[in-house]
A and B are shown apart, each in its own frame.
Chain A
């Protein structure tokens, strides 16, 4: 085997278990806990398993395998990997990096809220009206205006979270990113299992499960339900925006990448099912306790976590324990995802500027921490967050995933080569089925979802926010990510950075 000295030490996962845990840590995030249960409930209940499974097998895992193939074969961050595939495709990598910057900025704010709510679970600080408490006393929200007035209850935990994050990122791929997931993911699983057990023992839990799993077969004839199943898989699996490309570049040549992809894909979906059972059991209890139907208390996202769950905690026996388990799960799941999002940016900066690990980590995370705190610890933070999240998920992640697939599959026609690369040491051979899925079927499905989302976003102002706010923080953020991607691809790579991927049989010394 040929051995060459790499121009810089990029870091590396020590074995496939660490890689798989890191990939699961990235995939399992807030969306698994607060988005999937609602999407499944709205999408036909028990019948939703059919479109969801089809989406996982037809689009989710195949796209995950494509990300793995790009990173594992090209041995670089997203921009370097795309540059090695074709110099003109480098902008796709930087576009993905820019999307990660936007997401990381607001993700830290949600972790800060969750951290505060762990403490609030003991005092039930929200009193009788969790919604009024969240937007009033806690976030001090000012609707329709941009405020630079800081909210100390958000600013302080945000500063702490960024400090911890900076230390972890500076520790490197194995000791920072990998070790975080190896510790946090088992703890998250234990905490959430305990939550599910407690929720299942609450009165009314079976009514909640009935609402979640009662099949509505007619929903399967609705294209919107299939679109939401594919959307849920894309959003929750961390595919298409550089994370899995980056992680795969840190894995040894002879690791079973295809088998790993199936473990990660099913672990992510398996956790979503667990979340659905826990969340709907608790919602069933809330419905019974408040004398309402489950349909009247169902919610998703911020409303589920910071309004519905506090109401459950207030009324449930051992509510404080339920609250600690729930909000700690949000923090754990969100933190491993935040780390993975930041790794995309740090890895790209390291590759481009040939910086050391600590220098690159500080150069990326310190400015991001400052901007994040300035934007999202203010009284208008929650509005900006909500708009940015909605638009960057759709017209950032979905769009860049589509462009990447079209460029690699139709432009370069490299998918069959990727299939050979992945099958070389993989336990599951990628045959013609995968090539067809990634080249034709998945791009067409993503394009259809994007068109549907674009029509909705243009015709119905999201959440009724003012047009200028949607323009600046929604369309503006998504558009800025694309423009930043194009601009960042202009500077040339250093001469010491090879723009050809290392050969197949080469193990680069890191």
Chain B
């Protein structure tokens, strides 16, 4: 986006159905946040400031959209913002909120609010782009500050930001990590969108697929790898569900329809 010489770019953060962990990441930016604030100002940030404004250029939207009320609110944000960024996995792919889709609304209500009698609006969890147009995506649960900064700089200078289309393995190998498959663990790295700098796997964790499925996963190849390591598709699916049920159910529906 083009910047006029003196006016600072106004950034607003909003949260929907989520844990607000990605917003918390913003507070961890520390020095970098100070640098950014030389040409930006944050006008909405529930976790850190009390100011509220409807006048902003960039909206960082965190969380999945679930209820009718949320839908209206995010539409309003879309109207106000020149640039809308889906920020974090809940916003980008539905994230863990997607697990709700394993149950009917009634079942879910019953599990969570058992015995309590009050009207509660439970909607279908959706990534933001299923409700309004999203300009850019910053994936991750939580988002990785290095990527957030990279994306913001890139958007501010007018280049925009496209997350990598390659799997987590690319960055994992560059870090010279010992492959987790070699250590007998199920890792979702090969089918998960990279860009996180192989954050989890560099610390000995497996990849949980929080950045969502690749645009073009190699399904056959992936199955081979699983079989070779003694895992089943079910096991992979189960692990993948944690973050990706919105897309998985979506796809299921799409295929059912066709």
- Verify that A and B bind, or say they do not: no
Q: Which A residues are closer than 8 A to B by beta carbons?
A: none
Q: Which B residues are closer than 8 A to A by beta carbons?
A: none
